[in-house]
Amino acid sequence: MEHNQVYRFRVALASSDGQTIDCHFGNTENFYIYEIDQNETWKQIAIRENSNLKNDTSSTANQGKTCGGGGCSGPGGKCHGSLENVSFLSDCSYLLASKVGMKSSKLLYREDIAVLEVTLPIEEAFPKLIAYEKRRSKNWTIKNKKIG
């Protein structure tokens, strides 16, 4: 990394309001994308609609049960979100959600997105994530993710 480059990485939040990580990944209507830089500051840079929910018309279990729309109420309190495509988050290094199913975790892993399950306001979650990233990457570099 050149000395004049600013190190930064992107984080996708499964959130009802962009301020608190409080949604199940599969039932999130919108993903809030934040960029965190080497100065340990963050800013919201995008809101991405979960097009997978709009395409899943076969399941009645999720109708009205998206994050912000009543929560999950499938059998045993489980969610039935179906995410076949996670490439719309491929520029993110991390996904933070209150819960992520096994199938979605595998899809995210294939896109080189680390999954962290937390339920916290971002003011609490981001400093912990920054500390984790510092320990993980001595030079604050991400080898596979380059943001222009």
**Closest to 121 (Cα-Cα) out of 53, 39, 32, 46:** 32
CA nearest 94: which of 68, 69, 128, 71? 128
pLDDT for 20-63, tens place per residue? 999 999 889 999 999 998 889 999 999 999 877 765 544 444 44
Q: In 3D, which of 24, 27, 15, 45 has the Cα closest to residue 122?
A: 15
Annotated domain spans of the chain: 8-136
Task: Express each pLDDT in 64-89 by its tens digit.
Answer: 445 554 444 333 344 444 456 788 99
Give this prediction's pTM: 0.75
Taking residues 7-21, what's their average pLDDT?
93
CATH class of segment(s) 8-136: alpha beta
> Rounded CA gap, 93 and 148, in Å?
14
- In the chain, pLDDT over 70 holds for what percent of residues? 68
